Amino acid sequence: MKLPLTLQFRFLNKAAIKCEGEVRQDDGEPNNPWSLCSVQMVEEVKCLLRIVPIWASGIICFVAVSQQWTFTVLQSLTMDRHLGRRFQVPAASVGIISLVTLTLFIPVYDRLLVPFLRSITGHESGLTLLQRQGVGLFVSALAMAVAGLVEARRRREDLAERMSAVAWLSPQLVLMGVAEAFNAVGQVEFYNQQFPEHMQTLAGSLFYCSLAGAGYISSLLIAVVQKATAGEGRHSWLDQDISAGHLDYFYYLIAGLGMLNFCYFLLCARSYRYKGTTDPNPDPDRDPRAREEDGGGLQEQLADVAFVR
């Protein structure tokens, strides 16, 4: 796919400007590939620069996912997990609710929600790739807020020596499954479509880099919270006895970080240009350079000075 020249990150366009003696006359190739790049190469670098801020926003979403998987088990151990008189749900298996929701929601989205959204937005996929990721980020923050409310209730019941039913954890896990269906799946499709063609094999690895980054940030966040909230005569938010601590405050903290991350994502998505699309036409009355580009367009004007291959 040949990418058109864009004005975004225009400082990189200098790398494709031909200077005297940089191109061989016999075959038209540059004498030094490190001093002269083609327009295609410049645009591929721009694709990567546009993707990085979007990629960074996905890390906080997976922080929320990892924390729910970790602390849901501890919460379940203090709750009533009986189904009937003889069967007790293993605490470690409660998180499967999120996976089941993810598995069921994807076909529901494809078969029911996409046609409905298509009739509203006019987009073939119902929502764009960035819109899907944005919905996932918002729902993940909402899931952590719900988790905080549920944990506050569980803590009150436990301190009053009453056991809450483990089913109270279902809403937050269902919401997190929906968030993964939107954000995680949207991320994979986004990388596969927006990465330069010569780097498609690396597209999938970026998703797992998000998971790895979330793991490191989660560990750092836990260490900081434990050190900041523990002290003489008081329990840490993340005390080994979760009823003595305040896990609900920790959930609210992650929800707040999630909303800040959502706002950051909106700013990045607003300035993002999908691969293969050009920048919007500038207003000639506001941008003097637009008058010079009206004649033949940016591509035609740079045909004689840019290295196109």
At 252-272, the pLDDT tens digits run 999 999 999 999 999 999 989
Question: Does pLDDT of 191 surpass 50?
Answer: yes
Q: pLDDT tens across 42-63, in order?
A: 888 888 999 999 999 999 999 9
Between 211 and 277, the more confident residue is 211
CA–CA separation, 124 and 114 (whole Å): 8
C-beta separation of 73 from 94 below 8 A: yes
Does residue 98 carry a pLDDT above 90? yes
Which pLDDT belongs to residue 26? 65
Report d(CA 82, CA 102) in Å as an integer.
24
| 21 vs 213, more confident | 213
Mean pLDDT over the full length of the chain = 84
Which of 275, 276, 52, 54 lies closest to 183, judged by CA? 54
Tell me: pLDDT of 298 over 70: no
Poorest-confidence range of 104-113, 161-170, 279-288, 294-303?
Answer: 279-288
Residues above pLDDT 70, as percent of the chain: 85
Q: Which domains does the chain have, with CATH numbers?
A: 52-271 (1.20.1250.20)
What pLDDT does residue 176 have?
95
More confident residue, 235 or 278: 235
Least confident of 108-122, 181-195, 284-298: 284-298
Work out the average pLDDT over 20-32: 67
Higher pLDDT, 288 or 69: 69
pLDDT at 159 over 80: yes
pLDDT at 33: 67
Say if residue 169's pLDDT is above 80: yes
Q: How far is CA 269 from CA 62, 132, 182, in A?
A: 19, 11, 16
Beta bridge partners of 82: 88
pLDDT the model gives residue 41: 84
The token pair that represents 1 in the structure block: 């796919």
User: What is the rounded radius of gyration, in angstroms, for the C-alpha atoms of the chain?
Assistant: 26
